Amino acid sequence: MYKKFFIGIMLVFFMFLTCSAFATEFYTITTATTGGSFYPAGVAISQLWYEKLGEKLDIKFSTQSSAGSVENADILRKKEAEIAIMQNNVVLWAYFGTHMFEGKPNKNFRLLQPFVPNAYHIMVDKNVNSLLDIKGKKFVVGRAGSGNVTVSEAVLAAIGLSFDDVRPEYLGQQEGLNALRNGVVDAVMAMGGYPVPSISDMMATPIRSFKVLNLSDEERNIIHQKEPWMLITEIPANTYMNQPEPIKTLQHVALFIVTEEMPEDVAYELAKTTWENMDWLRKASAIFNRMKIEAVDEGFLNYPVPLHKGAEKYYKEIGVVK
Protein backbone atom coordinates (compact mmCIF):
# COMPACT_ATOMS: atom_id res chain seq x y z
CA MET A 1 0.00 0.00 0.00
CA TYR A 2 2.71 2.44 1.01
CA LYS A 3 4.71 1.44 -2.06
CA LYS A 4 1.77 2.25 -4.33
CA PHE A 5 1.21 5.52 -2.50
CA PHE A 6 4.90 6.45 -2.89
CA ILE A 7 4.84 5.58 -6.60
CA GLY A 8 1.70 7.68 -7.01
CA ILE A 9 3.35 10.67 -5.32
CA MET A 10 6.44 10.31 -7.51
CA LEU A 11 4.29 10.20 -10.66
CA VAL A 12 2.48 13.38 -9.65
CA PHE A 13 5.83 15.04 -8.85
CA PHE A 14 7.28 13.95 -12.21
CA MET A 15 4.22 15.28 -14.04
CA PHE A 16 4.59 18.58 -12.18
CA LEU A 17 8.24 18.87 -13.17
CA THR A 18 7.45 17.98 -16.77
CA CYS A 19 4.66 20.57 -16.99
CA SER A 20 6.86 23.19 -15.34
CA ALA A 21 9.68 22.52 -17.77
CA PHE A 22 7.41 23.16 -20.73
CA ALA A 23 5.33 25.97 -19.22
CA THR A 24 4.96 29.18 -21.20
CA GLU A 25 7.43 31.86 -20.09
CA PHE A 26 6.63 35.56 -19.85
CA TYR A 27 9.19 38.13 -20.96
CA THR A 28 8.67 41.82 -20.20
CA ILE A 29 10.33 44.79 -21.89
CA THR A 30 10.58 47.76 -19.54
CA THR A 31 10.64 51.08 -21.39
CA ALA A 32 9.83 54.60 -20.12
CA THR A 33 6.84 56.93 -19.84
CA THR A 34 4.13 56.62 -22.47
CA GLY A 35 4.85 60.09 -23.87
CA GLY A 36 8.36 59.22 -25.07
CA SER A 37 9.70 56.97 -27.83
CA PHE A 38 10.82 53.99 -25.70
CA TYR A 39 7.28 52.88 -24.85
CA PRO A 40 5.74 52.73 -28.37
CA ALA A 41 8.95 51.10 -29.62
CA GLY A 42 8.69 48.50 -26.87
CA VAL A 43 5.07 47.79 -27.77
CA ALA A 44 5.97 47.30 -31.45
CA ILE A 45 8.98 45.06 -30.86
CA SER A 46 7.21 42.92 -28.25
CA GLN A 47 4.39 42.38 -30.75
CA LEU A 48 6.92 41.39 -33.43
CA TRP A 49 8.71 38.98 -31.11
CA TYR A 50 5.45 37.40 -30.00
CA GLU A 51 4.19 36.97 -33.57
CA LYS A 52 7.45 35.51 -34.85
CA LEU A 53 8.83 33.72 -31.78
CA GLY A 54 5.99 33.21 -29.32
CA GLU A 55 5.12 29.72 -30.46
CA LYS A 56 8.69 28.73 -31.35
CA LEU A 57 10.13 29.68 -27.96
CA ASP A 58 6.92 29.29 -25.96
CA ILE A 59 7.34 32.83 -24.64
CA LYS A 60 4.75 35.57 -24.30
CA PHE A 61 6.20 39.07 -24.68
CA SER A 62 4.75 42.22 -23.14
CA THR A 63 5.74 45.85 -22.59
CA GLN A 64 5.54 47.95 -19.46
CA SER A 65 5.97 51.67 -18.91
CA SER A 66 8.36 52.97 -16.27
CA ALA A 67 10.01 56.15 -15.09
CA GLY A 68 12.83 55.44 -17.54
CA SER A 69 16.45 54.34 -17.71
CA VAL A 70 17.42 54.63 -14.03
CA GLU A 71 14.37 52.73 -12.85
CA ASN A 72 14.83 50.20 -15.66
CA ALA A 73 18.27 49.30 -14.34
CA ASP A 74 16.71 48.55 -10.96
CA ILE A 75 13.84 46.61 -12.55
CA LEU A 76 16.29 44.49 -14.56
CA ARG A 77 18.46 43.90 -11.48
CA LYS A 78 15.44 42.72 -9.50
CA LYS A 79 14.44 40.40 -12.36
CA GLU A 80 11.10 42.17 -12.71
CA ALA A 81 11.72 42.37 -16.47
CA GLU A 82 13.93 40.46 -18.90
CA ILE A 83 14.72 43.26 -21.36
CA ALA A 84 15.24 46.99 -20.75
CA ILE A 85 15.66 49.97 -23.04
CA MET A 86 18.22 52.27 -21.44
CA GLN A 87 20.34 55.24 -22.40
CA ASN A 88 24.07 54.62 -22.72
CA ASN A 89 25.32 56.65 -19.74
CA VAL A 90 22.90 54.95 -17.33
CA VAL A 91 23.93 51.52 -18.67
CA LEU A 92 27.58 52.30 -17.86
CA TRP A 93 26.80 53.73 -14.42
CA ALA A 94 24.64 50.71 -13.53
CA TYR A 95 27.18 48.18 -14.84
CA PHE A 96 30.13 49.67 -12.95
CA GLY A 97 28.17 50.79 -9.87
CA THR A 98 28.81 54.54 -10.07
CA HIS A 99 26.68 57.69 -9.66
CA MET A 100 23.25 56.73 -8.28
CA PHE A 101 24.32 53.05 -8.38
CA GLU A 102 27.39 53.68 -6.22
CA GLY A 103 28.60 50.42 -4.70
CA LYS A 104 25.95 48.34 -6.51
CA PRO A 105 27.49 47.19 -9.80
CA ASN A 106 25.36 45.10 -12.15
CA LYS A 107 28.04 43.00 -13.82
CA ASN A 108 25.47 40.58 -15.26
CA PHE A 109 24.06 43.22 -17.64
CA ARG A 110 24.63 42.40 -21.31
CA LEU A 111 24.13 44.20 -24.64
CA LEU A 112 21.51 42.80 -26.99
CA GLN A 113 21.31 45.45 -29.70
CA PRO A 114 21.51 49.21 -30.22
CA PHE A 115 18.24 51.09 -30.46
CA VAL A 116 18.17 54.64 -31.89
CA PRO A 117 19.86 57.92 -30.99
CA ASN A 118 17.74 59.90 -28.53
CA ALA A 119 17.62 63.50 -29.66
CA TYR A 120 17.00 66.23 -27.08
CA HIS A 121 13.89 68.31 -27.76
CA ILE A 122 14.17 71.16 -25.27
CA MET A 123 10.67 72.61 -25.42
CA VAL A 124 10.43 76.12 -24.01
CA ASP A 125 8.20 79.15 -23.63
CA LYS A 126 8.52 81.39 -26.69
CA ASN A 127 10.38 84.01 -24.61
CA VAL A 128 13.19 81.59 -23.68
CA ASN A 129 16.06 81.95 -26.16
CA SER A 130 18.97 80.12 -24.51
CA LEU A 131 19.69 77.54 -21.84
CA LEU A 132 20.74 80.27 -19.42
CA ASP A 133 17.28 81.84 -19.82
CA ILE A 134 15.86 78.82 -17.98
CA LYS A 135 17.47 80.06 -14.74
CA GLY A 136 14.80 80.75 -12.13
CA LYS A 137 12.06 79.21 -14.27
CA LYS A 138 9.92 76.08 -13.94
CA PHE A 139 11.82 73.37 -15.77
CA VAL A 140 10.40 69.86 -16.24
CA VAL A 141 13.52 67.75 -15.74
CA GLY A 142 11.80 64.36 -16.06
CA ARG A 143 10.16 61.88 -13.75
CA ALA A 144 12.17 60.79 -10.72
CA GLY A 145 14.11 57.67 -11.69
CA SER A 146 14.26 58.58 -15.37
CA GLY A 147 17.17 59.08 -17.73
CA ASN A 148 15.72 62.51 -18.50
CA VAL A 149 16.66 63.67 -15.02
CA THR A 150 20.29 62.62 -15.52
CA VAL A 151 20.37 64.46 -18.86
CA SER A 152 18.74 67.60 -17.45
CA GLU A 153 21.19 67.68 -14.55
CA ALA A 154 24.23 67.13 -16.79
CA VAL A 155 23.15 69.77 -19.34
CA LEU A 156 22.61 72.39 -16.65
CA ALA A 157 25.90 71.51 -14.92
CA ALA A 158 27.80 71.90 -18.19
CA ILE A 159 26.68 75.53 -18.49
CA GLY A 160 27.29 76.30 -14.82
CA LEU A 161 23.79 75.76 -13.41
CA SER A 162 22.21 73.19 -11.11
CA PHE A 163 18.72 72.21 -10.05
CA ASP A 164 19.09 74.83 -7.30
CA ASP A 165 19.14 77.50 -10.02
CA VAL A 166 15.83 76.44 -11.57
CA ARG A 167 12.45 75.36 -10.26
CA PRO A 168 12.60 71.65 -11.15
CA GLU A 169 9.37 69.83 -11.89
CA TYR A 170 9.54 66.02 -11.77
CA LEU A 171 6.93 65.11 -14.34
CA GLY A 172 6.74 62.47 -17.05
CA GLN A 173 7.32 63.63 -20.61
CA GLN A 174 3.66 63.76 -21.66
CA GLU A 175 2.64 65.46 -18.42
CA GLY A 176 5.41 68.00 -18.81
CA LEU A 177 4.52 68.83 -22.40
CA ASN A 178 0.87 69.27 -21.44
CA ALA A 179 1.95 71.61 -18.64
CA LEU A 180 4.00 73.66 -21.13
CA ARG A 181 1.11 73.79 -23.58
CA ASN A 182 -1.10 75.10 -20.78
CA GLY A 183 1.44 77.70 -19.64
CA VAL A 184 2.05 76.04 -16.26
CA VAL A 185 5.82 75.51 -16.79
CA ASP A 186 8.48 77.28 -18.83
CA ALA A 187 10.62 74.47 -20.22
CA VAL A 188 10.63 70.70 -20.70
CA MET A 189 13.53 68.33 -21.32
CA ALA A 190 11.91 65.93 -23.79
CA MET A 191 13.82 63.32 -25.74
CA GLY A 192 13.45 60.36 -28.03
CA GLY A 193 14.08 58.95 -31.47
CA TYR A 194 12.43 61.43 -33.77
CA PRO A 195 9.69 61.88 -34.66
CA VAL A 196 8.53 61.64 -31.03
CA PRO A 197 4.72 61.23 -31.11
CA SER A 198 4.07 63.64 -28.22
CA ILE A 199 6.29 66.30 -29.85
CA SER A 200 4.48 65.80 -33.17
CA ASP A 201 1.23 66.47 -31.36
CA MET A 202 2.65 69.63 -29.76
CA MET A 203 4.06 71.00 -33.01
CA ALA A 204 0.77 70.48 -34.82
CA THR A 205 -0.89 73.07 -32.55
CA PRO A 206 -1.87 76.01 -34.85
CA ILE A 207 -1.27 78.81 -32.33
CA ARG A 208 1.67 78.13 -30.03
CA SER A 209 3.16 79.94 -27.06
CA PHE A 210 6.11 77.53 -27.04
CA LYS A 211 8.92 76.38 -29.35
CA VAL A 212 11.79 73.92 -29.63
CA LEU A 213 14.94 75.61 -28.37
CA ASN A 214 17.74 75.78 -30.93
CA LEU A 215 21.01 75.39 -29.05
CA SER A 216 23.89 77.59 -30.10
CA ASP A 217 27.09 76.02 -31.41
CA GLU A 218 28.84 77.30 -28.28
CA GLU A 219 26.28 75.63 -25.98
CA ARG A 220 26.54 72.33 -27.84
CA ASN A 221 30.34 72.33 -27.86
CA ILE A 222 30.58 73.12 -24.14
CA ILE A 223 28.12 70.38 -23.21
CA HIS A 224 29.77 67.79 -25.48
CA GLN A 225 33.20 68.58 -24.02
CA LYS A 226 31.89 68.13 -20.49
CA GLU A 227 29.76 65.05 -21.30
CA PRO A 228 31.29 63.20 -24.30
CA TRP A 229 28.40 60.69 -24.35
CA MET A 230 26.18 63.58 -25.49
CA LEU A 231 26.74 63.99 -29.21
CA ILE A 232 26.16 67.08 -31.36
CA THR A 233 23.36 66.59 -33.88
CA GLU A 234 20.53 68.23 -35.81
CA ILE A 235 16.90 67.23 -36.17
CA PRO A 236 16.19 67.63 -39.91
CA ALA A 237 13.86 70.34 -41.14
CA ASN A 238 10.22 69.29 -41.51
CA THR A 239 10.54 66.40 -39.09
CA TYR A 240 7.60 68.08 -37.37
CA MET A 241 4.85 70.35 -38.59
CA ASN A 242 5.68 74.08 -38.51
CA GLN A 243 9.41 73.27 -38.36
CA PRO A 244 10.94 74.61 -41.60
CA GLU A 245 14.53 74.73 -40.26
CA PRO A 246 16.78 72.09 -38.68
CA ILE A 247 16.89 72.03 -34.87
CA LYS A 248 20.41 72.24 -33.44
CA THR A 249 20.62 69.98 -30.41
CA LEU A 250 22.36 66.99 -28.80
CA GLN A 251 21.64 63.29 -28.53
CA HIS A 252 22.72 60.10 -26.83
CA VAL A 253 22.39 56.45 -27.78
CA ALA A 254 19.77 54.06 -26.40
CA LEU A 255 20.43 50.35 -26.00
CA PHE A 256 18.49 47.12 -25.48
CA ILE A 257 19.90 45.50 -22.34
CA VAL A 258 19.37 41.97 -21.04
CA THR A 259 21.15 39.91 -18.40
CA GLU A 260 23.74 37.16 -18.66
CA GLU A 261 21.10 34.70 -17.40
CA MET A 262 19.02 34.99 -20.58
CA PRO A 263 19.40 31.68 -22.48
CA GLU A 264 21.75 31.95 -25.45
CA ASP A 265 19.16 30.66 -27.92
CA VAL A 266 16.62 33.28 -26.79
CA ALA A 267 19.05 36.20 -27.13
CA TYR A 268 20.09 34.87 -30.55
CA GLU A 269 16.48 34.68 -31.76
CA LEU A 270 15.61 38.15 -30.42
CA ALA A 271 18.52 39.79 -32.23
CA LYS A 272 17.98 37.81 -35.43
CA THR A 273 14.22 38.46 -35.52
CA THR A 274 14.67 42.16 -34.86
CA TRP A 275 17.17 42.84 -37.64
CA GLU A 276 15.51 40.55 -40.18
CA ASN A 277 12.15 42.29 -39.73
CA MET A 278 13.05 45.97 -39.82
CA ASP A 279 10.48 46.63 -42.56
CA TRP A 280 7.79 45.27 -40.23
CA LEU A 281 8.99 47.48 -37.39
CA ARG A 282 9.25 50.59 -39.56
CA LYS A 283 5.65 50.15 -40.65
CA ALA A 284 4.65 49.81 -37.00
CA SER A 285 6.52 52.95 -35.89
CA ALA A 286 8.53 55.64 -37.68
CA ILE A 287 10.97 55.56 -34.74
CA PHE A 288 12.58 52.45 -36.25
CA ASN A 289 13.56 54.35 -39.41
CA ARG A 290 16.67 55.40 -37.50
CA MET A 291 17.51 51.96 -36.09
CA LYS A 292 20.15 50.55 -38.42
CA ILE A 293 22.44 47.54 -38.39
CA GLU A 294 25.35 49.91 -39.10
CA ALA A 295 25.06 50.93 -35.43
CA VAL A 296 26.51 47.50 -34.56
CA ASP A 297 29.92 49.05 -35.12
CA GLU A 298 33.27 49.01 -33.34
CA GLY A 299 31.99 51.41 -30.70
CA PHE A 300 29.09 49.08 -29.88
CA LEU A 301 31.11 45.86 -30.08
CA ASN A 302 33.90 47.30 -27.90
CA TYR A 303 31.51 48.85 -25.38
CA PRO A 304 32.60 48.28 -21.76
CA VAL A 305 29.41 46.29 -21.13
CA PRO A 306 29.79 42.84 -22.75
CA LEU A 307 27.70 41.60 -25.65
CA HIS A 308 25.37 38.70 -24.82
CA LYS A 309 26.75 35.46 -26.27
CA GLY A 310 23.48 34.76 -28.11
CA ALA A 311 23.53 38.15 -29.80
CA GLU A 312 27.23 37.72 -30.56
CA LYS A 313 26.43 34.44 -32.33
CA TYR A 314 23.97 36.22 -34.63
CA TYR A 315 26.34 39.11 -35.36
CA LYS A 316 29.05 36.56 -36.27
CA GLU A 317 26.64 34.85 -38.67
CA ILE A 318 26.03 38.08 -40.57
CA GLY A 319 29.71 39.02 -40.59
CA VAL A 320 29.55 41.97 -38.20
CA VAL A 321 31.67 40.23 -35.59
CA LYS A 322 34.80 38.59 -36.97
8 Å CB contact between 149 and 143: yes
Phi and psi for 183 in degrees, rounded to 5?
75, 20
Instruction: For 149-183, give the DSSP string.
Output: HHHHHHHHHHTT--GGGSEEE---HHHHHHHHHTT
pLDDT in tens, 143-177: 998 989 999 999 999 999 999 999 999 999 999 99
Specify the 3-state DSSP secondary structure of 263: coil
Q: Which domains are delineated in the chain?
A: 25-115+254-317 (3.40.190.10), 118-252 (3.40.190.10)
Element (H, E) at 40: helix 38-57
Task: Over range 29-44, report the average pLDDT.
Answer: 92
Task: Over range 63-87, report the average pLDDT.
Answer: 96
* pLDDT score of 172: 92
Contacts of 174 (CB under 8 A, 6+ apart): 33, 34, 35, 198
Contacts of 278 (CB under 8 A, 6+ apart): 288, 291
Task: Over range 211-230, report the average pLDDT.
Answer: 94
8 Å CB contact between 246 and 236: yes
Residue 254's nearest CA partner among 141, 101, 114 is: 114
Residue 112's nearest CA partner among 131, 93, 86, 135 is: 86
pTM: 0.81
pLDDT tier for residue 22 given thresholds of 50, 70 and 90:
low
